[in-house]
Chains A and B, each alone.
Chain A
Amino acid sequence: MGRLVLRRLGSTVPVLLLVTAGVFLLLHLTPGDPIDVMMAESVDVTVKENLRRELGLDRPLYVQYATWMGRLLKADLGRSIRNGEPVIENVSRRLRPSLELALCAMAISLMIAFPLGIVCAVRRNTPIDRAGATFAVVGICMPNFLLALLLIFLFGVTLRWLPISGYTDPLDEPWNGLRSLALPAVTLGLALAAVVTRTLRSSLLEALAEDYVRTARAKGLSEWRVIWSHALKNALIPVVTVLGLQLGTLIGGAVITEYVFALPGVGRLVVDAVFARDYPLVQGVVLLIAVGFIVSNLIVDVLYGWIDPRIRSR
């Protein structure tokens, strides 16, 4: 187990280096002078020159990279050029809504996917199964910004049950907080639910065809027990894999969901920074998201090895 962790960590280091280089070069990919792109033409020349010096754009590229990396190692990701605050503070202020959204979305998707996936597998080729398959296709093909607007139209505009934008922290006001997160969480969770339903159905069908299930049935166990304590356990391995693979989609989905519902999360911060042409902020946030993504993938890999002993030895 320890070796698996070490091996994965080892292969992560070069990738991390390339990721930082990529994020660093992001600013230099801009066609034309990044300073001119970031600031309006009317801005005073001395202000522009000051910013150029502050960002180190007047020095050779390798010096810039070395300084930037040196600061990174001290956890200094630079400052936003719009509000002058350090990137870290900008992000940490926005982290809570994003994590709450992700948690709620995950909970909703598992609450839908588990019962549905199991029922579809057990009642294979019945109308329920076909309904589940339809749900999966719709969930996978539905763009989440469109789903968000459908939900807003239905529950916000027509029925007026739920707020359609804004954020209340559920830790301050549990009821209003959950209400403000309800539509965003469903928006984000539904696509994930669709993927998990499909995976769980097929992996459970596979597990139910195994010999140990026949043995369990022959022992006279109830069908419920056969599914719950024998088949489901083995069917979960592909589900964990898929959850890991969907992380990237989930983060991208969160960006759009936060944008539509005006949630003050990290995803919204990325969009705002991009459109404010606040490149140091874009660099910092994108780097943090990438690192978070790499670390979560690492955790999923290790989790996977923990669930399935066959992987550890490989």
Chain B
Amino acid sequence: MAGSIRGSDLAEHAASLERPASPLRARRWNVVRRAARARLAPFGAAVMLVAVLVALTAPLLAPYDPLAQNLGNTLARPGRAHLLGTDSVGRDVLSRVIWGTRVSLLAGLVAVAIAVIAGSLFGIVAGYCGGRIDGLVMRLMDAVLSFPPLVLALALGAVLGAGLVGVLIALGVVYTPTFARLMRGQVLAIIARDFVEAARALGAPGWRIAWRHVVPNAINPIIVQASLSVAFAILAEAALSFLGLGIQPPQASWGSMINAGRGYLQQAPWIVFGPGAALFVTVVGLNFVGDAVRDALDPRTRG
């Protein structure tokens, strides 16, 4: 028996020599397993999956045209014909909630993607170049951070014009400094290590060191922060469209639907509570996913 165990060990060793990626892949799986073990992660993952599916299949899933008005059937109670009732111009609330899922998810993902890309670039440049450039870039980030996030997004959204693109850029700018700071810290820690020194000694150009050696090693905290940020970006988009920026009526977004239903709380509270529940459940679910990703990737929280 002992021989066979050793034998299989050897075989595995040989296999790993042939495919150098396999231990890395195994480590990745550990990460996923740890994420799944977290108590609330399954709920979060389910919410995320449902939200993505709803967003992708909105045209098939929505029972009515989200923009079709029916002035003969306004403020209808939730019932068999309209599961979440109708709004003040007789549009089906459920269909609008379903279409609004697209806007919310898109906004969350795109805003965070803008911030990750811009922030990482700033962080790499600052950390790698050091000196005056570092000082200038980081003061610039500090300046962005000296505005309360919502006020900055509101002001930027105002000058960029109402509409989804303006809000996405505004939110991207708001979240950029977080990623820039994170990336800069990572870069500073990594370029002090031996393998970077070795790459430099071999004559690798700066961009190659940054791309092949620094970025892959710096990426974990960025992933953690990004997954935690998506939920908050969705909240922020909803808040801005509640205030009247973001996607414009009659297009449906959760925030603008909630704002439109504000005046009908007494007669038709479902106009507010339909999109409200969707928003709340999505944000809670994404938060759990974010926590799980952090627990899995951040060595400090590993129990």
9 closest A-B pairs by CB: A252-B150, A18-B143, A251-B148, A248-B148, A274-B158, A141-B283, A141-B284, A29-B159, A146-B276
Nearest A-chain residue to B238, judged by Cβ = A143
Count residues on chain A whose CB falls below 8 Å from chain B CBs. Answer: 49
Which residues 160-201 of A have a CB within 8 angstroms of B? Answer: none
- Complex CA distance for A149 and B152, rounded to whole angstroms: 24
A145 at the interface (CB under 8 A from B): yes
Q: State whether the Cβ of A27 lies closer than 8 Å to any Cβ in chain B.
A: yes
- Roughly how many angstroms separate A259 CA and B143 CA in the complex, as a whole number? 26
A153 and B269 in contact, given A137-B284, A145-B258, A274-B154 (Cβ under 8 angstroms): yes
B155 close to A (CB within 8 Å): yes
Interface of A with B (CB < 8 Å)? 11, 14-16, 18-19, 22, 26-27, 29-31, 137-138, 140-146, 149-150, 152-153, 157, 247-249, 251-253, 255-256, 259-260, 270-271, 274-275, 277, 279, 282, 286, 289-290, 293-294, 297
How distant is the Cα of A138 from the Cα of B280 in the complex, in angstroms? 9
Chain B residues with CB under 8 Å of A294's CB are: 146
Task: Tell me which residues across on chain A come within 8 A of B139, comparing CB atoms.
Answer: 14-15, 18
Using a CB–CB distance below 8 Å, which chain B residues touch chain A? 139-140, 142-144, 146-152, 154-161, 231, 235, 238-239, 242-245, 255, 258-259, 262, 265-266, 269, 272, 276, 279-280, 283-284, 287
- A interface secondary structure, majority: helix
14 contacts across the A-B interface (CB closer than 8 A): A15-B142, A19-B146, A31-B161, A137-B284, A138-B284, A143-B235, A143-B276, A143-B283, A146-B279, A149-B272, A248-B149, A252-B149, A290-B147, A290-B151
**Which of A137, A138, A251, A282 sits near B155, CB closer than 8 Å?**
A282
Known: A14-B139, A26-B155, A143-B280. A289 touches B258 (CB 8 A): no
B302–chain A nearest beta-carbon distance, Å: 16
Closest Cβ of chain B to A103, distance in Å, is 17
A111 to B129, CA, bound (A): 48
A260 to B: closest C-beta gap in Å:
8
Name the residue of chain A whose CB is nearest to the CB of B166. Answer: A31
Choice from A152, A247, A252, A255 contacting B265 with Cβ under 8 Å: A152
A286 shortest CB reach to chain B, Å: 5
Q: Which of B139, B243, B259, B284 has the most CB of A within 10 A?
A: B243
